[in-house]
Structure 1
Amino acid sequence: MSHIFDALQRSEFEQSGSDIPAPAVATELLQAAERKAAVERGTVVEREMFPERQAEAEPPSVAEQPRDAAVDQFSQFQSLRVLVPPQGKLVALTEQESLAAEKFRFLGVRLRQVRQSRPLKKVLITSTIPQEGKSMVAANLACTLARRTQQKTLLMDGDLRRPSLAQLFGVGMVPGITEWLQGESGPVSSIYRLEDPGLWILPAGNCHRNPLELMQSGKLPALMDQLSTWFDWIIMDSPPVLPLGDTSIWMRLADGILLVTRQGSTEKQQLQRGLEAIEKSKLIGALLNSAVAANHSDYYQRYAAPSASAQDVPIKSN
């Protein structure tokens, strides 16, 4: 670590034109900084005065563990077999050479470009009203990121009222976020490995009579902190923005937000209200679903039906 500190300090002094301090001085500065941070955490005093407490101390939470400590967690996740119809909505899996799948790959590229200029790991996919295809977009995007980047990708179903991601992948009803919030299961037992797409899924679980009250329990921030140490991408499918207040909770936990609209379904006033409900600094762009391009009209007719809605997905960035 001291080598990294020395290199960073050398770069700073070279840019400023100042003399570069000796490595010993840099090392002393680093050690002093480390001692100060340790004292602030109370660890130095505790180690020196009460060494016997170290063996009795509780292990750090997952959020406090280094990334290497999360490796063992992945071996504990249960694997589920994916059962996707050949002509279903997951074109990123079943029709990888299609133009629709290419649109999702393009979306993945755009997100990686955005991440070069700002922190972006937790991406929320929402819509203005129901039936605009947000869950389909979230699922295909997660599959695309998992396949193309070879990075650990988690797909979360945050729509606790009308969950659909487990059904999209054909994994059935399994415990998920609801059970975790109720204290019936831990994060490890609520996350599942989907082998074929190479990603992990945290389903919504069984429906709760009052999802908003459950989400306001204060446990979600801790969960997201844990998940952020395990995964490179977290794609969150949430309820629509307008009818419910659930989405406002997810929006506070997200790094960036994508708003899905459907051509011929979303009215201009609804879209405007949806955009106004989203924090501008977090809005990455808007996706137009079911768009029909003149030069691809025959191709897009196939995806115009609700059962295979994966159309042109243009991005309108800030």
Structure 2
Amino acid sequence: MTQHLNHQGSRTSIVGPPRAKAAANSPSNDAAKAFDPWIIWVTFRRCWPWAVPVGAALAGIAAFVVMQGFVPEYRASYLLESNEDYVVFKGVMPQVENLARTEKSLFQNSIVLDPVLADPTLRSAPSLSDPNSAEGKLRKNLSISSGGTDSRLVVSYTDTDREAAAMVCNAIVDSYLRQRDSFDDTRVNNLERWLEPEIQRWEQEVDERQKRVAALSQKTLGYAPGQSVDRNDSEAHMSRVAALRSQIGDLKIELALFDAIVEAPLPLDSDESLAAATPAIAPTEIQKQVIRERDIENGIDADAKVRAAKAVVNRYTSIILDIEVKDMVRISRDYYNDMKKNLEDARDKLQDERDLARTRVEEELQRVVDEDYRQRKAVAERTLAWQEEQQKKQQDLSKQERKRAQERSQKAFAKEREKSRKAMVAKLDVLQTQYNEERERLEQYGGMTAELRFANDELVVASGVLTKLRGRVAAIRTERRQDGAVRTLAAATPPKAPVESKPYKKLVMASAGAFVIPFLLGLLWEFKVQRLTDAESHDKTGLLAPVVGEVSRLPAGSGSRKARRVFEESIDSLRANLFLSVDTRHTRSIAVVSSMSGEGKSSVASQLALSMAKSTGETVLLVDGDLRRPDQHEIFGLEMGPGLTGVLSDKSTLDDAVDKSLGSLIHVLPAGPLSASPHRLISPKKFETFVKEALEVYQYVVIDTAPVLAAGESLAIASAVDSTLICVMRDVSLKENVVRTTRRLEAAGACVAGTVFSGVSARQYGYRYGNYHYALPDTMAT
């Protein structure tokens, strides 16, 4: 009694908390119903006996329907090719490249398809007979594909009538060719109309520039431009003339300065007159040179950054002019606009560089003028100092000596002055003579001015543009095609054979789809009911008691010897796991329950009792607690007798009710005839007294119970024993039912030791746990 109570008290403390923890950590219902790919195999395994014949019947019906609705279709094809022929000028006329890619949109456009739909002769085609659906079918049946190369195109049309397919295909291509020729003619005509006024404008421009060159040549050279000397020679003479002109100017300035310094004679009468007799130019009287605008402009044009900016402007101007000359403006509109924008930016940058260069040139010219002013001022200061020194010396002499010395000095000064002046005048005459000779020679041989050079350059550019425009018109007129940019290689003819003689693809798809319908329904059902298929999926739920053992399927009838041996081995493994576990090693009373009937609890209970008796050598009492549908007496071939109902109703004692005909290892207590409600017979208190009485006689008691969800009295039995095993049948038990059973048992205070996963095939059991068999004597094996 004490031992039993200890077990009863321990089951709540040991088993209860883990179950509560599992419930607390259990996933939600949605997670519990997550799709497991294994369910597909389970569905096939369970459904194939009925799904295969049903699927085959549905597949046959689907194939019959497809064949009944099948109408053979014919595809007519038209082969086109890009016209690449030319007379002289290749690339003048447009050549369509990659026809399948560029022309597909034109074929699908309404400007090509509308004339086909409007043609009353094409209404005889089956696909175009209905005006409401004609356009949709026309677009659907029309296909554009490559003809093997980028320059070839295949136009195909599919219809149920072979003649109609060829007729509609030819009509579509004819409409396309008309539109293509119209586009090409319009482009060529527009190009010629645009070139004519341009040619006239450039002819007028060339004429005006020729007149301007002639006028400038007459003004600058005095004769025709064709008689001018070599350009390099002209530039050399221009440079020589400029150098002589610069030397003459410097010498004139020097001569004027000399005359200004030594113009007045020295006075002879007094110190004051002596000081006044040698007037000198004071530094304050010297004037700076004036910076001329022409010098500034020349300096700006010679600046390196300005020349680079001019080169950029000229390059963009050349690009734009080339685009306009080659008639690429409308074709490359974006590139043309970008070049114009770049030209504007380059011109703005040129102006900025000129402004910066102006500042630099003005600063440099100002520096040169200041340096010249500083030098002339230094000369004047030295002259003034020399005069003051002479005056001071003369003041120290006597008046007579000063007069004599002054006369000698004046004579010597005048003589030296005259000599120096004659030398400068002679040098000036020589330079002037050389300058006049170079100028006459330059005028004689006609050196070109910069303005004349620019005018000639503009004339060359205008003549080149006019030549290119005229050449473009001549090339277009020469290469104007009569057969268009796309030409016909092979027109469409009525096809001899349909696209497919039988709709094999549709047959396969329809039959396969119909065949899998039963399996899909079975899969939906299995996914909904959530059967337990293996121990791993059982443990993954987190809501069920852990699996303490897997039991192989009990072979029907005599069965094979190997399958029976595997079944007995699985029962022995279950018994070992149960009695070697820390939580259940002291268990003496065991209840075997299930959620619903047919889940293997009776087989597990009887075989577990036999295994316990054989392993311990103690007598085990097997009680059939399923009063509604008892079957333990049928398993062992025993009489019903008073059974459990007689003991619980006090109509019989335990010793009288137990059947001991099977020997000393196992005694069976059948259910007995049911004469009252099972709930009244099996109450928790009454059954606890029964278990206590049985354990006083037997070492172990194994009780087979009714399904928990169908019979509530099983909860009273489970609450009265030490441990409870929940039987789960592979591919039969529903997860939701097992969860509900587990929760009811825990709520009733039962100690759930674990789950027994039965119904595993002998092959699968051997694969999972090995097949280590052992030999027995023939007498024991039987």
On the 8 A contact 1:146/1:199 being kept in 2, the answer is: yes
Do the aligned partners of residues 213 and 143 (structure 1) sit closer, same or farther apart at CA in structure 2, a change above 3 Å counting? same
In the TM superposition, residue 231 of structure 1 has moved relative to its aligned partner by 1.2
Do the aligned partners of residues 116 and 261 (structure 1) sit closer, same or farther apart at CA in structure 2, a change above 3 Å counting? closer
Do the aligned partners of residues 109 and 268 (structure 1) sit closer, same or farther apart at CA in structure 2, a change above 3 Å counting? same
Q: State which of 748, 752, 756 in structure 2 corresponds to 1:283.
A: 752
On the 8 A contact 1:146/1:197 being kept in 2, the answer is: no
List aligned pairs for 1:71-150, cutoff 5 A: 88=557, 98-114=565-581, 119-150=586-617
On the 8 A contact 2:648/2:690 being kept in 1, the answer is: no
Instruction: State how far apart, in whole Å, the 2-side matches of 1:134 and 1:90 are.
Output: 20
Amino acid at match of 1:145: M
On the 8 A contact 1:123/1:256 being kept in 2, the answer is: yes
Amino acid at match of 1:288: F
On the 8 A contact 1:160/1:208 being kept in 2, the answer is: no
Match of 1:292 in 2: 761
Bigger drift between 136-145 and 104-113 goes to 104-113
Amino acid at match of 2:755: A
Report Cα offsets for 1:30-74 as digits up to 9, x if no partner. xxxxxxxxxxxxxxxxxxxxxxxxxxxxxxxxxxxxxxxxxxxxx
Residue 716 of structure 2 is aligned to residue 249 of structure 1: yes
Report Cα offsets for 1:132-182 as digits up to 9, x if no partner. 110110000001111121012110011111111011100122221111222
Instruction: State how far apart, in whole Å, the 1-side matches of 2:605 and 2:671 are.
Output: 14
Match of 2:186 in 1: none
Amino acid at match of 2:595: T
Instruction: State how far apart, in whole Å, the 1-side matches of 2:562 and 2:648 are.
Output: 36
On the 8 A contact 2:579/2:585 being kept in 1, the answer is: no
On the 8 A contact 1:161/1:208 being kept in 2, the answer is: no
Do the aligned partners of residues 268 and 296 (structure 1) sit closer, same or farther apart at CA in structure 2, a change above 3 Å counting? closer
Q: State which of 227, 230, 251 in structure 1 corresponds to 2:697.
A: 230
Amino acid at match of 1:188: D
Instruction: State how far apart, in whole Å, the 2-side matches of 1:265 and 1:153 are.
Output: 30
Match of 1:270 in 2: 737
Match of 1:221 in 2: 688
List aligned pairs for 1:187-206, cutoff 5 A: 187-196=654-663, 198-206=665-673
Amino acid at match of 2:654: P
Do the aligned partners of residues 242 and 281 (structure 1) sit closer, same or farther apart at CA in structure 2, a change above 3 Å counting? closer
Report Cα offsets for 1:89-141 as digits up to 9, x if no partner. 999xx989711100111111112213676541110100011111101100000
Report Cα offsets for 1:205-248 as digits up to 9, x if no partner. 11234111122394322221111111111101111111221111
On the 8 A contact 1:134/1:260 being kept in 2, the answer is: yes
On the 8 A contact 2:715/2:750 being kept in 1, the answer is: no
List aligned pairs for 1:141-160, cutoff 5 A: 141-160=608-627
Instruction: State how far apart, in whole Å, the 1-side matches of 2:739 and 2:761 are.
Output: 22
In the TM superposition, residue 296 of structure 1 has moved relative to its aligned partner by 5.6
Q: State which of 212, 236, 259 in structure 1 corresponds to 2:679.
A: 212
On the 8 A contact 1:90/1:139 being kept in 2, the answer is: no
Instruction: State how far apart, in whole Å, the 1-side matches of 2:750 and 2:715 are.
Output: 14
Equivalent position SS for 1:235: strand
Match of 1:166 in 2: 633
On the 8 A contact 1:122/1:255 being kept in 2, the answer is: yes
Instruction: State how far apart, in whole Å, the 1-side matches of 2:739 and 2:583 are.
Output: 29
CA RMSD, 1 decimal: 2.9
Instruction: State how far apart, in whole Å, the 2-side matches of 1:105 and 1:165 are.
Output: 20
Instruction: State how far apart, in whole Å, the 1-side matches of 2:732 and 2:632 are.
Output: 22
- Paired residues in the alignment total 211
Do the aligned partners of residues 88 and 153 (structure 1) sit closer, same or farther apart at CA in structure 2, a change above 3 Å counting? farther
Amino acid at match of 2:759: S
On the 8 A contact 1:255/1:282 being kept in 2, the answer is: yes
State TM-score, norm by structure 1.
Answer: 0.60
Amino acid at match of 1:239: A
On the 8 A contact 1:153/1:234 being kept in 2, the answer is: yes
Instruction: State how far apart, in whole Å, the 2-side matches of 1:221 and 1:136 are.
Output: 24
Equivalent position SS for 2:760: coil
Instruction: State how far apart, in whole Å, the 2-side matches of 1:144 and 1:281 are.
Output: 24
Amino acid at match of 1:292: S
